[in-house]
Amino acid sequence: MPLPIKAKTCWCSNSRLKDFNQEYAECLSCGTLVALKPLSDDQLFVRNDDSDFYGKKYWLDHQKEEFGYPDIYARSRNDLTERNLHWLKILLKYRFPLSSVLELGCAHGSFVALLELAGFSALGVEMSPWVVEFGQKTFGISVQAGVVESLNILPGSFDVIALMDVLEHLPDPIATMSHCLKLLKPDGLLLIQTPQFKERMDYDELVQSKNAFLSLLIPDEHLFLFTKHAVTELFQRLGVNHLCFEQAIFAHYDMFFVASRTHLEANTTEQIDAALMATPNGRFAQALLDIRERELGLTKRLLESEQDCATRLEQIEILTETILGSKRKKLGKYSFFHKLTSQ
Ligand SMILES: [Zn+2]
């Protein structure tokens, strides 16, 4: 039976889409999940912080009430350890301090602040003027208000542009990424975290298995949910042919990658250590990364230990059952023999 076709167009300009659920359809060409009822183009801008969708309420109430996320005050503390250190670690694999970084959708600005501490020259961009001021006051960082296309930035200004949980919000990812590439130096790179829609995911199966990806189906905000194949195609169309997929923090529903027009070469651990240890603040950043590595090591050992305990407990239960079983057998024989001889 032919699949129903929706009257909607994917970022790749294909309009042959098949049903996924009531709110999304899957592009038959590139495999992206396309939101069927996104916000209007007008709702994507923040002109009035008190009433516009991505204004102050989005950060104070919406994310908390709709999705149970902590508010911006808690996030500005938690994200430093829960997200930013991981992002910094991956960035250092490809670029050393003193490189210039632009973060689109920097929220409260903790990643920009951590980059500055590590020795990078970082600038954030955020749509809500209230959030911009929050970042400036909280972390003493440089943040500009608006969308990237509206900023007065010279072409070829940055070594890195970071988009953490931003790509899926863009109404025209080709146009925005094309603009970002102009702002990058020719050998600049993009650092991107975005949800990962895995090929052949079926909505009913996701619901039955209570898959964590379901929490990312937010059609008015997440306009495009890409597969690895789809992001590769998106960037290839823009002449970005070098993509390296890295470990995502929330690997069960996200993907994390760097993308560049030129060959990507990874720095060695020794080179990264030397670059950070060259400055006093770099040493603090290094210390935070060291603590995180230790924490990850301890978590891994704890999980292994719990697994080991569970395996041993299982073996004890099997052995106990075997011993009790053979005892029951012996007792059974004895009572039968006792019954015969006593007659
Ligand atoms: Zn498509």
Task: Please write the tens of the pLDDT for every residue from 261-272.
Answer: 999 999 999 999
Instruction: Flag whether 291 is in a domain.
Output: no
In the reported structure, the alpha carbon of residue 35 is separated from the centroid of ligand 1 by a whole-number distance in angstroms of 12
Instruction: Flag whether 35 is in a domain.
Output: yes
139 with 201, same domain: the answer is: yes
Sequential DSSP letters for 96-118: -TT-EEEEET-TT-HHHHHHHHH
| Confidence class for position 3, pLDDT limits 50, 70, 90 | very low
Structure confidence at residue 201 (pLDDT)? 87
214 with 300, same domain: the answer is: no
Percent of the chain with pLDDT over 70: 95
In the reported structure, the alpha carbon of residue 246 is separated from the centroid of ligand 1 by a whole-number distance in angstroms of 23
In the reported structure, the alpha carbon of residue 112 is separated from the centroid of ligand 1 by a whole-number distance in angstroms of 32
Rounded-to-integer distance, Cα 208 and Cα 191, Å: 33
159 with 306, same domain: the answer is: no
| Confidence class for position 340, pLDDT limits 50, 70, 90 | low
269 with 305, same domain: the answer is: no
In the reported structure, the alpha carbon of residue 320 is separated from the centroid of ligand 1 by a whole-number distance in angstroms of 58
Report which of 97, 104, 88 is spatially closest to residue 153, judged by C-alpha positions.
Answer: 104
132 with 267, same domain: the answer is: yes
In the reported structure, the alpha carbon of residue 12 is separated from the centroid of ligand 1 by a whole-number distance in angstroms of 4
In the reported structure, the alpha carbon of residue 20 is separated from the centroid of ligand 1 by a whole-number distance in angstroms of 14
Here the CATH number for the domain that contains residue 136 is 3.40.50.150
26 with 57, same domain: the answer is: yes
Supply the range of the domain harboring residue 213: 17-278
Q: Among 252, 278, 304, give the residue marking a domain's end.
A: 278
Rounded-to-integer distance, Cα 35 and Cα 219, Å: 5
Structurally, the chain folds into a number of domains equal to 2
Give 338: exposed, middle or buried? Use CB within 10 Å, 0-12, 13-18, 19+.
exposed
Instruction: Flag whether 171 is in a domain.
Output: yes
Instruction: Flag whether 5 is in a domain.
Output: no
The pTM assigned to this predicted structure is 0.87
Contact 177, 234 (CB under 8 A): yes
Q: Tell me how crowded residue 83 is: count the other CB atoms within 10 A of its CB.
A: 19
